[in-house]
Amino acid sequence: MTEAQKQGQLIVISGPSGVGKGTLIEELQKRRDDLCFSVSYTTRAPRENEVDGKHYFFVTQREFQCRVEQGDFLEYAGYADNAYGTSRSQVEAMLDRGQTVILDIETKGAMQVRERRPDATLIYILPPSYAELKARLYGRKTEDEASIRKRLAQAKKDLPYISKYDFVVVNCQVALAVNELNEILCAVGRKSCYMQDVIQQYNRSFEEAEATGRTQQAQ
Ligand code: 5GP
């Protein structure tokens, strides 16, 4: 396998709204330069600090539906009255460049990725407890009461899916959780399927040694 053919890893990160996935991903990106964040499409209105094209591509319901019909999404799902989807072409282009692609998506979408991309690694981020999750959601002051209730109800609906993920990380302290995520990414990167270039280089070193040996014998 040549460098050009080397495929990147697909990493799915899920967890209840308010658990701190965004912060963890940002911190992880500061540590590793091979990470690419897939920017999703959503019909949700932007929050005050959110930038179109950076945090999400904010689109109308009609545009979202058009993309669904054109098969543009690797996965898509509804969440708390809004639709969210991952661009298939964006993800494939990044994987083809050998980059590690992070998807921050909810559980229904994650299960679709599991079906369509069995090579993906699924990580679920847990808060230390329900009470802590509730405190974080109220504390960040980005949602109104009704939206917070919907997000907490959604967190409950996620419970049966957590065991379907490959890894679970508890976000008690950001620095510790980032360490754990980094360790997981390092371990996944050592799977033999991602180490083909190293394995082939090792194979070549044998061939070279054997060829040199034959030359020496001939002298
Ligand atoms: P928020 O509105 O708080 O940014 O995101 C709400 C939920 O939607 C989060 O759980 C987030 O992980 C999820 N989400 C964001 N983008 C996508 C996407 O492209 N697909 C799916 N299925 N979920 C997404």
Work out the average pLDDT over 126-143.
Answer: 92
Three-class DSSP category at 158: helix
The pLDDT score that the predictor gives to residue 80 is 81
- The residue whose CA has the least distance to atom 17 of ligand 1 is 105
Residue 127 near residue 163, CB atoms below 8 Å: no
Q: Residue 17 and residue 180: Cα distance in Å, rounded?
A: 20
The residue count of the chain comes to: 219
Asked if the model's pLDDT at residue 219 lies above 70, the reply is no
pLDDT bin (cut points 50, 70, 90) of residue 78 is very high
What distance in Å separates the CA atoms of residue 154 and residue 190, rounded to the nearest whole number?
Answer: 34
Q: Per mean pLDDT, which of 109-113, 152-156, 211-215 is the most reliable?
A: 109-113
CA of 193 to the centre of ligand 1 (A): 29
Q: What is the pLDDT of residues 34-77, one digit of tens each?
A: 999 999 999 999 998 899 999 999 999 999 999 999 999 999 99
The C-alpha atoms of residue 39 and residue 101 are separated, in whole angstroms, by 10
Interacting residues of 132 by C-beta distance below 8 A, sequence separation 6+: none
| List of E strands, the chain | 10-14, 35-37, 40-42, 56-58, 73-79, 82-87, 100-104, 121-126, 167-170
Query: 88 in the Ramachandran plot: left (φ > 0), alpha (ψ -120 to 50) or beta?
Result: alpha
C-alpha distance across the termini of the chain, in Å: 34
Instruction: Kindly tell me the burial class for residue 203, based on how many C-beta atoms sit within 10 Å of its own C-beta (0-12, 13-18, 19 or more).
Output: exposed
What's the pLDDT band for 185 if we cut at 50, 70, 90?
very high
Computed over every residue of the chain, the mean pLDDT equals 93
Residue nearest to atom 22 of ligand 1 (CA): 109
Confidence of residue 3 (pLDDT cuts 50, 70, 90): very low
pLDDT at site 94: 95
Beta strands 73-79 and 56-58, pairing class: unpaired
Inter-residue contact 111 to 120 (CB < 8 Å): no
Q: Which tens digit of pLDDT belongs to each residue from 92-131?
A: 999 999 999 999 999 999 999 999 999 999 999 999 999 9
pLDDT bracket for residue 5 (50, 70, 90): low
Q: Whose CA is nearest to atom 14 of ligand 1?
A: 105
Distance of CA 178 to the CA centre of its chain: 14
Residue 130, both tokens: 């329900």
pLDDT at 2: 47
Q: Strand 40-42 vs strand 82-87: parallel, antiparallel, or unpaired?
A: antiparallel
Q: What is the mean pLDDT of residues 180-196?
A: 94
Ligand 1 contacts (CB < 6 A) are 17, 40, 44, 75-77, 79, 84-86, 104-106, 109
Average pLDDT over residues 170-177: 97
What the block records as the tokens of 154 is 């959604």
User: Measured in angstroms, how far is the CA atom of residue 206 from the centroid of ligand 1?
Assistant: 48
Predicted confidence at residue 141, as pLDDT, reads 83
The confidence score (pLDDT) of residue 155 equals 94
pLDDT of residue 1: 43
